[in-house]
Chains A and B, each alone.
Chain A
Amino acid sequence: MEDAHAGLLFSIRRNWRAYVYLLPMIVVLLFLNLYPIAYTFYISLTDFGSGGPNSFFNVKFIGLSNYFHIFYSSYYLPQTIALLQNSVVWATGSIAIFIPLGLLLASLLNQPIRGKWIYRTVILIPWAMPAFISLLTWENMLNYEYGIVNSFLNLLHLPSVNWLGGSPLDVWSALFLTNTWLSFPFYTIVFLAAMQAIPSELYESAQIDGAGTWRMFSRITVPYILPTVLFVGITGWLFTFNNFYPIYLLTSGGPGFTSEIFVVEIYQTAFQDYSFAIAATYSVINFLILLVVAVIAIKYARLTQGWLK
């Protein structure tokens, strides 16, 4: 251990310039990340915006009242639980589609087929388009009366679906569909890159030994790309949990509270109701949930990798 410390100290002494160059970035991160988080936590302990007239400026410290309000109020507690449920559904449902679809497409693109570069380029188009434009286009396509999606269903003699204002199943289907459109290129390309890093000799050896496609995939491809899948899956889940714009633009959390997630509620509470303290409280709760999930997921990922080795 002492030898390791001595080696590191020596490295710092030799490369102190590098550490100095990193300092501004660290300072900026402190002020752009840690400070806003700390300030948000502070706001959640006040009546900022919710204390009556002049409460934008005459801010009073009220301790954990906002938290008690959210967790003990007979009106807000069911709402908070619904937000948590919807956020988990949104993140989990999305990742459950992204990963298998990304693996499938990456596997197909990893084959020795002609014109591969064309397919790779085309696959990137949804990702290259501004998401806002894509979502507005989808909103019109999913329109109940005039949307092209329902027109296509009608052509197949299927009834129209109220995609953005119908049952929870209809609404979540529409949201997952649009989110998949926006996100599948990223997952495909990342998994494809991971697959291409696998030494081809392993597949050759396996073929010589008589292994079939599925066996090669499960015994060679999966173990090699598992760290990538786990990393992308965890970060993708965390990102989707906070993915604001598809839900806000398509349904605004509706109908009713069907698709309302934490981050949309935070935005509406802060910038439509101007209850900044309550919005900050939701933000802190959201942050803590994600922190716990991230820590557990990373630990589980490391355990899984160790088991595979």
Chain B
Amino acid sequence: MWFRMSDIYIKVRGISKEYRIGERNEYKTIRDSITGFTSRNYKRLISSFDRKPVGASSTDSPADIKPLNNYFWSLQDVSFDVSKGEVVGIIGRNGAGKSTLLKIITGITEPTEGRIDIYGRIASLLEVGTGFHLELTGRENIYLNGAILGMKRQEIDRKFDEIVDFSEIHQFIDTPVKYYSSGMRIRLGFSVAAHLEPEILLIDEVLAVGDAAFQKKCLGKLNNVATSEGRTVLFVSHDMTAILSLCHRTVFLENGRKISEGPTDQIVQQYMQSMSTSFELPLEERADRQGDSSVMITSLKIEDSEPGAPIRSGSQLKIKFNYKSDNPIRFPRIIINIRDFASRINILRLDSEMCVDGIPENLPPVGCVTCLTEELLLTPGRCVVDLEFRRGMVKADKIENAGHFDIEPDDVYGSGKLPSRGQSVSLIKYKWQLE
């Protein structure tokens, strides 16, 4: 009688969210909004002269303002249900709207359109260790962080020992967190979060941190939380193995829209296929550039050299980007840095000047450059790419974290086993011998 099929815990209906470009990155000063206001109205005035007689400007103002302010939809008309006890995965590329969706469900931000009904106490885990205060001790931070995540005081009292046990930092529990290593902070943060007991739990990519052993422990704990305790969980991740092992059902988002929803293995397969199909990342709107702007890198595409195949350990990588400039470019030099996503450690530097098959001394003002690598023997995981374009000695354009790619596991050794990213970044073929 109690457990009906219609026991929906989260009901998402037609959710859309509109952001203004740049709004998230910069804050305004009053001067900016005054200048913005006047230029907006000036342009509106001009356009009203152009098209319509006097007096019409006020009626068509929304249409006039829109293109000037650059709005974009982070989410568009997304609907789905989550039932009691279900573990639902949300997957999609960066910028697909996954995190925005979680933020709307938790109430951090408000949808522009649509409605979500939530039938239960909800807690979210968007970042491990949120609200840690460096001056406070581990013990104090457990209480503070617990309260921030929505735990009651007695609840924290009750679980305190369990939390400390899980974090494995007993002897430092009365040391200020500022003296902790980053790994210890993450462990403490996750331990608090893992002991939340809401009816609905939202998790965003928390496993991408910490060392491999602890990651495994976290995944195990999450598995417990999700399955044996019968909790409703919404889980966002790029880690397909985690999604496959935890989630009953999965929702696939792309460009803010729901592409599909269904059994996890089917949806993950669909996602992997879409990942491997060529995908060009536009870079023109990136504001975090360095350099004198004489050249602009406009887009980036990273793919397997074999068309349509996903990037695996041992793939030959094809990194392709477009650029534009006002003039032909003399003595160009291109540097591509590949770094590990989690640790930010440099893995590879592909420098056109250090390569025999480099690029010509003159490049046309607009063009497309490709760098093709040999077998890239890296462990599965995410890599980020920095792009730098130089003209002779001058740094013309540089974008850090221009894009990223995920390396899927492949049976490089033929043994069916690979080290994890935490254990090693690169792979090499080797053999053992008894002398």
- A and B interact physically: no
Q: Which residues of B does A touch, CB under 8 Å?
A: none
Q: Which residues of A does B touch, CB under 8 Å?
A: none
